[in-house]
Amino acid sequence: MTARPEGERAALVAGVVCFLLWGLLPLLLRAAGQAGASAWEIVAWRTVWSVPFALALVAATGRLQPMRTVLRQKYALPLLVLSAGLIGTNWTVYVAAVEANHTLQASFGYYINPLLNMAAGALLFRERIDRLSWAAVGLAVVGVVMQAIAVGGLPWISLALAVSFCLYGIVRKKIAVDAQTGLFVECLLLMWPAIGYILWLAPSGTMAFGRTFEATGLLVVSGLATVAPLALFAWCARRLSLTTMGFLQFIGPTVQFFIGVYVFGEELTQLRLLSFAFIWAGALLFVGNSAWRAQRRAAAA
């Protein structure tokens, strides 16, 4: 009788750890930058070192054989090339944002993302969205406008992160592939331009990798920091309700927000705080409405 609650509790812990790791990622990226690595070098080594960790994950979950079947699917490889380009763009924008002291904009982008996913589901996949959900999207739109006024122009970093990750989710939805296998193939595809950049950078003498133990270690760990949260996410997503997952996904940008303000010392003006207030209100409405709908479905069942 206690096995199920204990299993759900373990999945909840895994989910919290997963999103905490994503939230704490700016600390690792900033440390690598301070050790001498540029944003482009961090992205390159993060991609290269993701490959062996992703391969180990695929092997550990027994998905090496199914991967061949996936790659034989019609349009699977072209779609994975597209998804790799989108996630590579997302990684590059994110690392560059953290290195340029724009962690708050990155945080704002990942608050927008779940609400943008919901709107995309309604517009592209004809998923039914109720009025409260549209109200949550409306609050997010107001938050984006406020953020634009606060930063003196469109919050390009936030929008680039939200849109690229939303498009990535849409493309991955079209491919019948699990998270682990998909990530491995994407990292494998991105590895070649990453190696090309490293080979181009090496003769300049500006490469941080190999210069100090600290820089080398941080760049290797960045690969593990890419794969480990995804492994936890894939495990807990099968064991937790969508409502719970919807709540947990706001942990990451919240941690990023506090790191940006209290660790990196980024400026938080009253107008910018107001923009976050709108996005927080939208997030709370989104989660609360999801929980209410789940309770209604359970009662009807």
Do the beta carbons of residue 214 and residue 40 sit within 8 Å? no
Q: Kindly state the DSSP code that residue 264 receives in the 8-state scheme.
A: S
Grade residue 103 by pLDDT with cuts at 50, 70 and 90. very high
Grade residue 1 by pLDDT with cuts at 50, 70 and 90. very low
Over residues 188-208, the mean pLDDT reads 94
Grade residue 88 by pLDDT with cuts at 50, 70 and 90. very high
Do the beta carbons of residue 10 and residue 67 sit within 8 Å? no
Other beta carbons within 10 angstroms of residue 3's beta carbon come to: 7
pLDDT (0 to 100) of residue 3: 42
Q: How far apart are CA 66 and CA 75, in angstroms?
A: 16
Over residues 229-256, the mean pLDDT reads 81
First CA to last CA distance, the chain: 22
Over residues 80-103, the mean pLDDT reads 94
> If phi over 0 gives left and psi between -120 and 50 gives alpha, with beta otherwise, what is residue 176?
beta
Do the beta carbons of residue 133 and residue 145 sit within 8 Å? no
pLDDT at 6 over 70: no
pLDDT (0 to 100) of residue 179: 76
Q: How far apart are CA 117 and CA 182, in angstroms?
A: 19
Q: How far apart are CA 185 and CA 188, in angstroms?
A: 5
Q: How far apart are CA 84 and CA 188, in angstroms?
A: 9
Q: How far apart are CA 134 and CA 166, in angstroms?
A: 17
pLDDT at 71 over 80: no
Give the range among 58-67, 99-108, 127-136, 163-172 with minimum mean pLDDT.
Answer: 58-67
> If phi over 0 gives left and psi between -120 and 50 gives alpha, with beta otherwise, what is residue 169?
alpha
Cβ neighbours for 43, distance < 8 A, ≥ 6 positions apart: 88, 91, 92, 95, 194
Do the beta carbons of residue 90 and residue 81 sit within 8 Å? no
Grade residue 243 by pLDDT with cuts at 50, 70 and 90. low
**Range list of H helices, the chain:** 3-34, 39-60, 64-72, 76-99, 103-124, 131-151, 156-173, 179-201, 213-237, 242-248, 251-258, 270-300
Over residues 178-203, the mean pLDDT reads 91
Over residues 174-189, the mean pLDDT reads 84
pLDDT (0 to 100) of residue 28: 96
pLDDT (0 to 100) of residue 7: 67
Over residues 9-28, the mean pLDDT reads 91
Over residues 52-68, the mean pLDDT reads 81
pLDDT (0 to 100) of residue 66: 65
CA–centroid distance for 132 within its chain: 25
pLDDT (0 to 100) of residue 242: 64
Mean pLDDT of the chain: 87
Supply the Cα-derived Rg of the chain in whole angstroms. 20
Q: How far apart are CA 8 and CA 107, in angstroms?
A: 28
pLDDT (0 to 100) of residue 10: 85
What percentage of the chain reaches a pLDDT higher than 90?
Answer: 49
pLDDT at 11 over 80: yes
pLDDT at 299 over 80: no
Instruction: Name the CA dihedral angle for 294, 176, 49, 102, rounded to a multiple of 10 degrees.
Output: -50
pTM above threshold 0.75: yes
pLDDT at 176 over 80: no
